[in-house]
Homo-oligomer: A and B are copies of this chain.
């Protein structure tokens, strides 16, 4: 049997109320004597209070649910780590849930987390979010912060890194280095996300009066294989191009592999850019010029924001956070003057 507050009370010849005071450091006006006595008994028995019982009363579990597609996706460990660090420093813990971009699984997890009485949730939606699940957050009245994949939803706090601006920056960088025919490898067609990246591409071209060539836009899948496939299609095309902007690093790496296979020199013959700045881009050859999202920071700030909301810190928190992407110049772009 578990050693409980009752047992301590009995052994110390005091009431459980007194023990509770010691546990919670409510010492104002307590005899040092009894305090010491109780503390000793607790230590002797390795007593650890049950947060279960406590939570029943306080209505707080200090647990936050993290819902995301797949921790194996190299994008997410950073988010999780940031979130966990923040959680830890505020006295919270995280329950991790992988949805595999499957709305059914996602729904189940939301329900489970509600059951577990989490204080809040951090949520990166499936690629094709369904409204039913989004409603769930509101219906269950669980404070939630959306991360990265933002769904237009008026009143739910969110944090993400500006994808349009990021892609704009890197395409502008290509243009400034003399590239005019710039191909584009996009992610999933079906997804409503990262259209913003495509927009960034278009707006950069437009700013420099470069006509948009639809033939140079290919549809990948955010995976290595997709990048490879798209690159192959591009090469088999008759169109001319000197650079390829990819919507994420994995596809850029896939594209790079294809170019290597075909003995095409990067960046001398064709330049490549990625997006996300995953570690991988530092060990390919050449290293891939890309856009860094402040991933860790996103996770950290998401958690901080959530905790503030949970605790109703009254200073009205800014609950729509947009972080700035950063251009990370490496070696995969042929530069004017090289």
A-to-B contact residues, CB < 8 Å: 2, 46, 48-53, 55-56, 59, 61, 63, 70-72, 74, 76-78, 80-81, 84-85, 88, 93-98, 111-112, 114-117, 139-140, 253, 257, 260, 279-280, 283-285
* Bound: A146/B198 CA distance, A: 46
Closest to A55 in B: B52
Cα A27 to Cα B300 in complex, Å, equals: 46
A52 and B285 form a contact (CB under 8 A)? no
Q: Can you report 8 residue pairs joining A to B where beta carbons are below 8 Å apart?
A: A63-B116, A72-B81, A74-B279, A84-B97, A93-B112, A94-B95, A95-B95, A96-B96
Contacts of A111 on B, CB cut-off 8 Å?
48
Residues of chain B contacted by A283 (CB below 8 angstroms): 253, 257, 280, 283-284
Specify which of B52, B116, B140 is in contact with A93 (CB 8 Å cutoff): B116
Q: Is the beta-carbon distance between A48 and B140 smaller than 8 angstroms?
A: yes
A59 vs chain B, min Cβ distance (A): 8
> How near does chain B come to A165, taking the closest CB pair, in angstroms?
26
Alpha-carbon distance between A237 and B46 when the two chains are bound, in angstroms? 54
With A77-B72, A81-B70, A81-B98 as contacts: A115 and B284 at CB distance below 8 Å: no
Please state if A72 and B63 are interface contacts (CB–CB under 8 Å): no
Query: Nearest-CB distance from A256 to chain B (Å)?
Result: 8
Residues of B within 8 A of A279 (CB): 74, 280
Alpha-carbon distance between A50 and B118 when the two chains are bound, in angstroms = 10
Q: A72-B81, A280-B280, A283-B283 are in contact. List 4 more A-B contacts (CB 8 A).
A: A2-B59, A46-B139, A50-B117, A84-B96
Identify the closest chain B residue to A94 (Cβ).
B96
Partner of A51, one of B77, B117, B257: B117
Q: Which residue of B lies closest to A48 (CB)?
A: B114
Q: Quick check: A71 and B98 within 8 Å, CB to CB?
A: no
* Chain B residue with the shortest CB-CB distance to A256: B283
B-chain residues with CB within 8 Å of residue A85 when the two chains form the complex? 98
Q: How far is the CB of A315 from chain B (nearest CB, A)?
A: 26
Taking a contact as CB atoms under 8 Å apart, the answer to whether B84 and A98 are in contact is yes
Q: A84-B96, A95-B95 are in contact. Are A115 and B51 (CB under 8 A)?
A: yes
Contact A96 B80 (CB under 8 A): yes
CB < 8 Å neighbour of A71 from B55, B81, B139: B81
**Given that A71-B81, A77-B77, A139-B46 are contacting pairs, would A51 and B96 also be in contact in the complex, using a CB cutoff of 8 Å?**
no
Write the nearest CB–CB distance from A231 to chain B, whole angstroms.
14
Q: Which residue of chain B has the shortest Cβ distance to A84 in the bound complex?
A: B98
